[in-house]
Amino acid sequence: MAAVSDPTRRRLRAAHGRVRPGLQRGAFLLEALIAALVFSFGSLAMVGLQARAVRHANDAQYRGEAAQLAQAVLAEMGATDVATLATRFDARSGGAGYAALLDRAKNLPGVSATQNSPDALVGPGPSSDTREISIVVYWAAPGDPRIHRYATTAVVVGR
């Protein structure tokens, strides 16, 4: 068998797709840097998703508290004589029932006596012994410039 010379070996290796070791210097470092960059972007995306999930969970909690507050006031109105509903619960009259609603609404973020206070309106109902009730509860979540609201209406029948 004839001996193959060194330059011929190099040409054969190059023809078979093998690259000389001297040409690969720094390739591993470049691959490691790209992998670190991809991992960093993935980590930032996960942190962003987590922050968004927390914000949505807080908004759901505040919305649930506002709904519970409005339903509790409606239940209290249902146990009250319809002739005194407007004087006790209407925001325009500022009675004891509305004062209690405002006091409970202050547990929501961004609510005070002068800012984002709830609305409770008592109007005539479909018949003489009913009243139409409209309750709107507002709140402003921390870090969110928007004012959120929960609104409900009901007809209360006299007892």
Residue 8 belongs to a domain: no
DSSP assignment of 91-134, as one string? Answer: TTTT-HHHHHHHHHHTTSTT--SSSS--EEEEEE-SSTTEEEEE
Per-residue pLDDT, 144: 84
Under the phi-then-psi rule, with left for phi > 0, alpha for psi from -120 to 50, and beta for the rest, what region is 136? beta
The percentage of the chain sitting over the pLDDT mark of 90, rounded to a whole number, equals 67
Residue 1 belongs to a domain: no
Burial letters 8-44, b for 16+ CB under 10 A, else e = eeeeeeeeeeeeeeeeeeeeeeeeeeeeeeeeeeeee
The pTM (predicted TM-score) of the whole model is 0.71
pLDDT digits 0-9 by tens, 50-86: 999 999 999 999 999 999 999 999 999 989 888 899 9
Residue 119 belongs to a domain: yes
- Give the distance from CA 37 to its chain's centroid: 30
What's the domain range around 68? 26-157
Q: What is the mean pLDDT of residues 105-120?
A: 92
Total count of domains within the chain: 1
Per-residue pLDDT, 9: 64
Per-residue pLDDT, 45: 96
pLDDT band at 26 (very low <50, low <70, confident <90, very high): confident
Q: Are 148 and 86 in contact (CB under 8 A)?
A: no
> What does the alpha-carbon distance between residue 135 and residue 119 come to, in Å, rounded to a whole number?
6
Residue 5 belongs to a domain: no
Q: Is the pLDDT of residue 116 over 90?
A: yes
Residue 77 belongs to a domain: yes
pLDDT band at 20 (very low <50, low <70, confident <90, very high): low
